[in-house]
Amino acid sequence: MNENNLENRIISVLKNIYDPEISVDIYELGLIYDIQISHNKDVKVVMTLTTINCPVAESLPLEVKEKIKSVVKDVRNVDVVLTFDPPWSREFMSEEARLELGLL
């Protein structure tokens, strides 16, 4: 299995998980900082939240982990690491997300 293909499938899953307060998916919102895939198909996702006090701080990382594991079958383990360094800002949003939110 091509690693790029696996990463694209993981990104596809992430694009179907939405921030509950903003009608934009977490990938386009810029909440995903890094996706690492080891040679034995262990996945590490480094992500953030829009604020430290985000109401989904407990549930969103768990949702990311569970959805990747259930949808992308050839992944062995999924580790989701939550970070606030650097803090999220609007600059991390894709152009598509900014357009969706009327920020362009």
Give the DSSP per-residue string, 39-84: TT--EEEEE--SSTT-TTTTHHHHHHHHHHHHH-TT---EEEEE--
What share of residues in the chain are helix, strand, coil (percent, to 5)?
A: 35, 15, 50
Please report the pLDDT score of residue 31 as a whole number: 97
Q: What percent of the chain has pLDDT over 90?
A: 76
- pLDDT tens for each residue of 47-72: 999 988 888 888 999 999 999 999 99
List, in order of start, the domains of the chain with CATH numbers: 3-92 (3.30.300.130)
Inform me whether the pLDDT recorded for 3 exceeds 90. no
Inform me whether the pLDDT recorded for 1 exceeds 60. no
Q: What percent of the chain has pLDDT over 70?
A: 97
